[in-house]
């Protein structure tokens, strides 16, 4: 099953995302990252420079307005492209690389190669995945809401897996993408941990209720005996 999730990146997010994607850190808190494998990661766009400079150049080279970009504007729509572990298990490395290349090619065709800031493939985590950054430019304007509206998100979820199947990959359509909430992989993991914690808490409360009911039954039994 195809996993394609989007998160909206503003100016204040670019530096942190660049450090994560390029593995620019000395210490990290993600236990899934095996730093001994980080040298196997690669970027399919191979643009030189920092994210901020790359994104600024993409915007300034196309925008038609002389106004400065709003400070709270969405500068990059970052897509995380992957599948489950079973999909990648026993897959030839060349086929795995072709999977990410074909996905990148689809984004280039759909949104314009000039608007792709990066396409980092990570092979140093539990499941291979790609962080692909699209600067949402259209008609000389930065307009994330229009480029990735609900209709477009639905189109992407339909057409990207279709394209990948046509290229020889046995992959199904993923879950419906919503423009209201887009979770990154770390956010998704955190959310799942919260669910687990909630389940544990519910179990504790259930056990406490059962214990309390049992105590009440014992008291009632003792009272009846007296």
Mean confidence (pLDDT) of the chain = 84
pLDDT (tens place) for every residue of the chain, 226 residues total = 999 999 999 999 999 999 999 999 766 667 888 889 999 999 999 999 999 999 999 999 999 998 999 999 999 999 999 999 999 999 999 999 999 999 999 999 999 999 999 999 999 999 999 999 999 999 999 999 999 999 999 999 999 999 999 999 999 987 654 433 444 455 555 444 544 454 445 555 545 655 555 554 555 544 444 4
pTM score: 0.78
Q: pLDDT for 151-202, tens place per residue? A: 999 999 999 999 999 999 999 987 654 433 444 455 555 444 544 454 445 5
Report the distance separating Cα 32 and Cα 51, nearest Å: 24
DSSP letter at 31 equals T
Check if the beta carbon of residue 127 is closer than 8 Å to that of residue 85.
Answer: yes
CA dihedral 21, 27, 29, 33 (to 10 degrees): 50
Which contiguous run of DSSP H or E holds residue 137? Answer: strand 137-138
| Torsion sign, CA atoms 27, 49, 11, 2 | negative
Question: Dihedral (C-alpha) 92, 119, 6, 166: value to the nearest 10 degrees?
Answer: -50
């Amino acid at each position: 099953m195809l996993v394609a999730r989007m998160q909206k990146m503003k100016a204040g997010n670019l530096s942190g995302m660049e450090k994560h994607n390029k593995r620019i850190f000395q210490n990290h808190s993600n236990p899934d990252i095996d730093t001994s494998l980080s040298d196997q990661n690669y970027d399919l766009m191979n643009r030189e420079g920092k994210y901020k400079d790359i994104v600024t150049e993409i915007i300034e080279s196309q925008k038609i307005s002389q106004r400065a970009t709003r400070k709270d504007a969405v500068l990059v729509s970052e897509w995380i492209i992957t599948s489950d572990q079973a999909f990648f298990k026993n897959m030839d490395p060349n086929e795995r690389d072709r999977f990410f290349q074909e996905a990148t090619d689809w984004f280039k065709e759909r949104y314009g190669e000039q608007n792709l800031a990066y396409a980092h493939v990570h092979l140093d985590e539990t499941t291979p995945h790609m962080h692909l950054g699209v600067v949402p430019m259209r008609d000389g304007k930065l307009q994330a809401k229009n480029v990735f509206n609900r209709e477009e998100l639905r189109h992407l979820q339909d057409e990207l897996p279709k394209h990948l199947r046509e290229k020889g990959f046995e992959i199904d359509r993923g879950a419906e993408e919503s423009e209201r909430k887009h979770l990154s992989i770390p956010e998704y993991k955190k959310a799942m941990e919260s669910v687990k914690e909630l389940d544990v808490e519910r179990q504790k409360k259930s056990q406490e209720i059962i214990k309390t009911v049992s105590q009440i039954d014992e008291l009632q039994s003792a009272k009846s005996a007296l």
